[in-house]
Amino acid sequence: MKRQNNMKKIIILTLAALALFGCAVRYSVKKGYDFTKIKRIAVCDFSGSYSFANSGDVVADEFVLQMLEKGYNVIERNKVNLLIRERNLDSTDYSKLGKLLGVDAILTGSVSKYAEDAGRTVYSTDANGNARTEIAMSRAVVGVSARLIDVNTGEIIWTARNDDEAFDISNAVTFVVAGLLDSFKTIKLQ
């Protein structure tokens, strides 16, 4: 019984440590920029991590999801990609993209980390040495850099970087994107 309580304490402390130490968002904004003029944002592709080819898609989709949940006016990412292909545009021609999509800013970035451990199994035993509790633990790490670009000037007006970890890759992506979007509060976007 004592070992089970110890195991519960270890799990709680691990979760608390992940919550406290995994959320250090670094960001910078263009000084003097009027963020109130940003009304519509297009989320473009994020370049993926070498370790997982679709990681950029997963992160970009999470940005769309969380931005919509927060009430931002977001242009569908697939619409952006289709327009780039149809018009044979360069994805860095922000002025043309902005005019064609009717957006004020473009969000893009890259995935620098995207890894998930296979997991570990932790056992506890009773007083007789018999296995009592089995806990499967895994660790996922995600790192993302993001940029918000003014379509009229092509200037980066906000940039941020966040690394986070969780017990699975899906939650790690969710935590990273939520941390990045939380820094929008400081620029009073929306």
Residue range 71-125, pLDDT digits in tens: 999 998 888 888 888 888 887 788 888 999 999 999 999 999 888 776 666 677 7
Burial class (CB in 10 A: 0-12, 13-18, 19+), 162: buried
**Nearest Cα to 111, choosing from 155, 51, 34, 71?**
51
Is there a contact between 4 and 139 (Cβ–Cβ < 8 Å)? Answer: no
The full set of domain ranges for the chain reads 25-119+139-187
What is the assigned CATH class of domain 25-119+139-187? Answer: alpha beta
The string of pLDDT tens digits covering residues 1-18 is: 555 555 555 555 454 444
* Prediction pTM value: 0.77
User: Contact at 8 Å (CB) between 110 and 145?
Assistant: yes
Tokens of 73: 């006016």
